[in-house]
Structure 1
Amino acid sequence: MKSTLIVLFTIIFLPAYAIDKLVTYPAPKGALLNSDFTIKVRQHNSQWNEIPSHLVKVQKVEGLKRFVEDASMCYFDFCGEVEISVTYNKGAVNTAKVRPLANNIKHEIDGNTITFKLNQPRNISVEVNDDIFHNLHLFANPMEEYIPNTKDPDLIYFGAGIHEIANGELKIPSGKTVYVAGGAVLKGRLVVDSAENVKILGRGMICHTVKHGIKISNSKNVLVEGLFATQCSTGGSENVTIRNVKSISYYGWGDGMNVFASNNVLHDGVFCRNSDDCTTVYATRLGYEGGCKNITMQNSVLWADVAHPIFIGIHGNAEEPEIIENLNYVNIDILDHRESQIDYQGCLAINAGDNNLIKKVRFEDIRIENFREGQLFNLRIFYNPKYCKAPGKGIEDVLFKNITYTGGNAELSMIVGYNEERKVKNIRFENLKINGLVISDDMPDKPGFYKTADIARIFIGEHVDNITFVR
């Protein structure tokens, strides 16, 4: 009995740092790196570990011109708590931000070095002197649970190093697991096409020079977890999970995580910084046919250098109308939205075209930071002949719950129907907070002749029924 008590005492009273872990990955020889920052990480005042700063590219729009800028990216795995040191090698650090701001990560500046701590996995941006185009994208991953068995005949293994994919594309057969280890860089796309029971796992990256790095097409039961790529799309597929995947694109049509004509798709803990829409849900499009249902994005960070953070509904089959339904966007931070074209604005945008009926959409616990240019909300049934053959059929049953915006750049939001047969209806705003002010139908001091939407700077157009604002 005495020895048993001693064992129990040891287990219960072990110090917290005994279970802390930190895994870093060196860059392979020949990897594309960026020297703007020197990044180090450690646990409990132990020795610093320097980690490589990989080169990634982002798109910058100035006026009518677009430019490609060099930014930085680093990653590691941990549990417990880590201290991070980021040294800016290009000059003095006058100001620094660690975003999303909602994480409330406290930082200190000493000369040209920024230090802060993390006590849980985060996908964050470190920005010096308000420069968002040459920032550091820091991906602090959870520890991996999957341990690859390199003798497994169903495993396709890429260890640390640079791997040239033959013909620029690896098509993954059914039943296979692809593992891309930390410190591995693939030069080629990963494609799941007409397959099922496929996994793509690891901590490595697909080089930023590879456009549309991960593509899931006409497949079932697919899991993608942990990797970096320019894009990760899903079309004509069912039962797809995309978890802790990071997407940064810089070229035209660089949508992050499209969903076309698919059902039961989950994006969990993803990071999207894109040169077009961060995430979309469309019906028939690009050879994929059918509507969409049961699509969820949660616990994620979105940054649209161009177009929308979230965009739903413009594409479908006008000859055989389709339904897009049961969409959920929960616990999301939107870091930026920059779009000059009025037709393509909206952090949270539902634009019904091609006779699509869009219903049962939930936006909940979404924090929108002070984006550069665009609208908060854009709900429209419209006919855009550039992309559509007909206006949408309707938008209905949409919930905006616990949406916050802090900033001064939001333009006039829009909610507009098309005609009496093609309406926007049953839209509920619950605890909408703009710069600290809760917008509700019973808010004090609102003049009786004001629409509640006027306070939120939302234009309510024709053919719109049953919009409510509640606390």
Structure 2
Amino acid sequence: MKAGDTRRALAKRWLIRLAVPLAVAALVVPGAGPAGAAPARHYTGTEYDLGGATRPIDGPQAGVDALAGQISASTDATLADLAREQATLPYSRPDAARPGAPPSVETYPRPDSQAASDQYSTSVWQLGRRHDSVTYTVAARRPGNRELDTSWTSFSFTGPVMVAVRKLSGSATGCLVRPTADAIRPWFVGDTCYFLLTRPANLSVEFAPNTTTPVLHPMLVFANPPESDVPSPNDPNVLYFGPGVHYLGPNVTLHSNETIYLAGGAWVEGAFLGIDVQNVVIKGRGIIDGLFMDTGNQAENKQQPGLIDIRCDNGGDPARTCATSPTSRNVLIDGVTLVDGPRFNVRALSEYTVIRNVKIIGWWINTDGIVAGDKSLVENNFVKDNEDSLKLFWGDSVVRDNVVWQLENGAPFMLSWNIEQDSANFHVYDNDVIHVEQYNAPTQGVFDSRHAGKGHLQRYLFENIRVEDASYRLFYLNVEHNTWYDPALGYGKFSELIFRNITAPATFTLPSVMNGIDADHGFTDVDLVDLRLGDTCVTDAPGANLQLDPDATDQIRIMKSSRCGGHA
């Protein structure tokens, strides 16, 4: 029997043995329990007040639980408003399998001009049938990138499937699939990593021994839900791109009441700009490629447009004017993949914005991932870039169920970069940071702020954040003087922040820091609750490896509950 026939026979055998029990298990609803109010939790830890004074914590913390409830109630109300706005958009129904839909797999054609990966190939098995899924690759662009390239595949499916990722170059001794919180248990046979999926996921498939930074040849699997609301190519309000390469160039103008659809197999070389637009949809399974704009020079790339840029004006500083006068409104960006953008990827400074299941691969410093305006939902995205991945600048926002692979620069979660407007109510939860490649810049961390603006930023609730392969620094939170802001405009502050149920590795190269300018321009009322470093739930600043500025931090509480390590 030939090697290929052996692999196919093995795949079928495993599919029969494992698909049925896993599909049944997927119907079980975990966590069901008796009704009734939960008892007040007991906390132990330490509070740090202005001047470095400390007080022990031993008992319930009603204020913390109440603040968390207020933030989540506020953002839940925003989600309800956002759903009503989105319901007015054409082709806006979320992608999902129809009830009772039969099992299916959809793969997409590769344009002849785009090479397949020489590192990996991918097949998807369902009901004994094999579907080959195109695996692409993009090479590292910036000198100093710690990786050599990144490969990825994208398909859509309903029902259980088995995914087989074959390593085409080099040897391996095993494999793993991240995020580990997805609890996908692969098995490795010969040169191939096999695993089962019963629901959509954005994943990294890694071959031992190269499973920690730097992973030289990353391999990503984007397993999408089936498309639910595909536009008609005959709709006059739809700009439809079918399979194949489309050369559009920079600054493709977006119009109000317009839908941009990229079918699976579409490869679009273009950058989309919308100014003062309403009711815009950009969706599909296609790819937006920014390589044609890449000059190969960091400084020159700063002048290039983003791949999707929706804002309120065409001059000045959009980060300032769009916050106070958000004239763009009701935007949906869903399902597309963005690669090789030389500048930022998605900047949607519009009210009532949903950014969902977008996949990003970028290489340059200043190639930010995703930033959305007020009243936004950012969910189920995958961001792998070399600048800030998820910017948390404009309030009444929910950021959930995203996966981040952070390159050498920037931060997975950026709370402020000199924001001048007051912002409040951010709920950031159930996100996975699978790799952080930071190693040599002292202003970096997983959670980061470089706040020299005059804005008062408050009411952030981070919970159920899982940090995997990271070793540089966990928190770098600063209100500071810096060279990108005029101090004559005045300085701001942070207050009412909760970091709850955060898991991260045991040790980092640099200590975490929380600094300010003075007592009025720093951090007040910050709670680190159930922060678990390795196997330890921390209860004080030394245990958290956290340095506090005694002159600019007040009411900083570090504590654990009896449920430390579990979900809130």
Which TM-score band applies after superposition, normalised by the shorter structure?
0.7 to 0.9
Q: By how many angstroms is 1:410 displaced?
A: 4.9
**1:310 aligns to what?**
413
**1:3 aligns to what?**
none
Q: Greater relative contact order (Cα 8 A, min sep 6): structure 1 or 2?
A: 2
The answer to whether 1:229 aligns with 2:338 is yes
The answer to whether 1:274 aligns with 2:385 is yes
1:232 and 1:275 map into 2 onto residues whose CA distance is 11
2:450 and 2:275 map into 1 onto residues whose CA distance is 29
Maintained 8 Å contact 1:60/1:66:
yes
Residue among 295, 300, 308 paired with 2:397:
295
Q: By how many angstroms is 1:97 displaced?
A: 2.1
2:402 and 2:348 map into 1 onto residues whose CA distance is 21
1:60 and 1:100 map into 2 onto residues whose CA distance is 26
Residue among 231, 240, 246 paired with 2:353:
240
**2:503 aligns to what?**
404
**Residues 195-235 of structure 1: CA deviation (Å, up to 9, x unaligned):** 11010110111125156322222221110000001453335
2:115 and 2:521 map into 1 onto residues whose CA distance is 51
2:330 and 2:467 map into 1 onto residues whose CA distance is 32
**Residues 148-205 of structure 1: CA deviation (Å, up to 9, x unaligned):** 222211111111111111x434212110111100011001112222211010110111
**Residues 14-64 of structure 1: CA deviation (Å, up to 9, x unaligned):** x989722211112122123312111100113x1211111112244677xxx
**2:522 aligns to what?**
423
Maintained 8 Å contact 1:69/1:133:
yes
**Uncovered stretches (5+) of structure 1, i.e. residues with no partner:** 1-14, 283-291, 441-451
The answer to whether 1:326 aligns with 2:435 is no
Residue among 485, 510, 514 paired with 1:388:
485
1:134 and 1:120 map into 2 onto residues whose CA distance is 26
The answer to whether 1:29 aligns with 2:132 is no
Q: Identity over aligned residues, as a percent?
A: 25
The 5 A counterparts of 1:42-441 are: 42-44=125-127, 46-58=128-140, 65-66=144-145, 69-128=148-207, 129-130=209-210, 132-165=215-248, 167-209=249-291, 212-218=306-312, 219-230=328-339, 231-234=344-347, 236-259=349-372, 262-282=373-393, 292-305=394-407, 306-317=409-420, 322-372=421-471, 374-385=472-483, 387-390=484-487, 392-440=491-539
Structure 1 residues 420-429 or 202-211, which shifts more? 202-211
Maintained 8 Å contact 2:136/2:151:
yes
Structure 2 letter corresponding to 1:37: Y
**1:457 aligns to what?**
545
Q: By how many angstroms is 1:345 displaced?
A: 1.2
The two structures, once aligned, show a CA RMSD in angstroms of: 2.1
Structure 2 letter corresponding to 1:159: G
Structure 1 letter corresponding to 2:493: G
1:68 and 1:168 map into 2 onto residues whose CA distance is 28
2:349 and 2:111 map into 1 onto residues whose CA distance is 36
2:504 and 2:292 map into 1 onto residues whose CA distance is 35
CA, structure 1 residues 59+28, in 2 after alignment: closer, same or farther (shift >3 Å)?
closer
Maintained 8 Å contact 1:270/1:300:
yes
**Residues 350-406 of structure 1: CA deviation (Å, up to 9, x unaligned):** 33212222111111110001214x211122211112x22237421100000111113
Bigger strand fraction: 1
**Residues 263-290 of structure 1: CA deviation (Å, up to 9, x unaligned):** 11221101100011112244xxxxxxxx
**2:296 aligns to what?**
none
Q: By how many angstroms is 1:109 displaced?
A: 1.0
TM-score by length of 2: 0.71
2:174 and 2:142 map into 1 onto residues whose CA distance is 21
Maintained 8 Å contact 2:257/2:278:
yes
2:256 and 2:112 map into 1 onto residues whose CA distance is 32
Q: By how many angstroms is 1:66 displaced?
A: 4.1
Maintained 8 Å contact 1:370/1:409:
no
2:110 and 2:354 map into 1 onto residues whose CA distance is 28
Structure 2 letter corresponding to 1:395: F
Say which SS state the counterpart of residue 375 (structure 2) adopts.
Answer: strand
Q: By how many angstroms is 1:91 displaced?
A: 2.3
CA, structure 1 residues 19+406, in 2 after alignment: closer, same or farther (shift >3 Å)?
farther
CA, structure 1 residues 361+57, in 2 after alignment: closer, same or farther (shift >3 Å)?
farther
TM-score by length of 1: 0.85
Say which SS state the counterpart of residue 542 (structure 2) adopts.
Answer: helix
1:199 and 1:388 map into 2 onto residues whose CA distance is 34
Say which SS state the counterpart of residue 293 (structure 1) adopts.
Answer: coil
2:291 and 2:429 map into 1 onto residues whose CA distance is 31
2:360 and 2:101 map into 1 onto residues whose CA distance is 34
1:115 and 1:241 map into 2 onto residues whose CA distance is 33
Q: How many aligned residue pairs are there?
A: 424
1:137 and 1:60 map into 2 onto residues whose CA distance is 20
Structure 2 letter corresponding to 1:124: L
2:206 and 2:290 map into 1 onto residues whose CA distance is 20
Maintained 8 Å contact 1:59/1:68:
no
1:377 and 1:337 map into 2 onto residues whose CA distance is 13
**2:19 aligns to what?**
none
Maintained 8 Å contact 2:164/2:194:
yes
